[in-house]
Amino acid sequence: MKVLLSIKPEFVEEIVLGTKRFEYRKSIFKRKDISSIVVYATKPYGKVVGEFEIEDILVDNPENIWKITKEYSGITESYFNQYFQNKPKGFAIQIKEFKKYEIPLDLYEFDNNLKVAPQSFCYTNGGF
């Protein structure tokens, strides 16, 4: 099973460049059988651009997550702190290796069950 994550285009670019090796989330999927993440670059781009295997998922308080991941966060510390403001727990999905699709896909091309992009994530069997 895969998860489709909605990620802002500027962060997708950092993932593609390899400077962002962690994707941060306030909540995480409940299923334990998730092996890879499919990346949807949000509007204005609005395409499914690639996927990556999950190396690890760190679960801790945001302060500790930042200490561990800041070198490959792809974001500023102030953005990180604002994102996790007042959250006692955070998640950092470690990106194993990003595989960019040769041709970015519209949601319906990737998975014809998807009509709109998920706010955060959704489960999917679509893709390659």
Q: Is residue 128 predicted with pLDDT exceeding 60? A: no
CA distance 53 to 122: 16
Which residues make Cβ contacts (< 8 Å) with residue 52, sequence separation at least 6? 15, 36, 37, 39, 95, 96, 97, 98, 99
Q: How many helices (H) and strands (E) does the chain have?
A: 4, 6
Q: What is the Cα 70 distance to its own chain's centre?
A: 16
* pLDDT on residue 126: 75
pLDDT > 90 in the chain, percent: 91
Closest CA relative to residue 36, chosen from 69, 67, 2: 2
The residue-averaged pLDDT of 27-56 equals: 95
Would you state the structure tokens that stand for residue 51, as one six-digit string?
A: 């996927």
Say which CATH class 2-124 falls into.
Answer: mainly beta
Nearest 5 degrees, angle CA 113-CA 118-CA 124?
45
Would you state the structure tokens that stand for residue 17, as one six-digit string?
A: 């460049």
* pLDDT on residue 125: 79
Q: What is the average pLDDT value for the chain, to the nearest integer?
A: 95
Q: What sign does the CA torsion over 71, 11, 103, 127 have?
A: positive
Q: Is residue 127 predicted with pLDDT exceeding 70? A: no
Q: What is the pLDDT of residues 57-88, one digit of tens each?
A: 999 999 999 999 999 999 999 999 999 999 99
Three-class SS of residue 107? helix
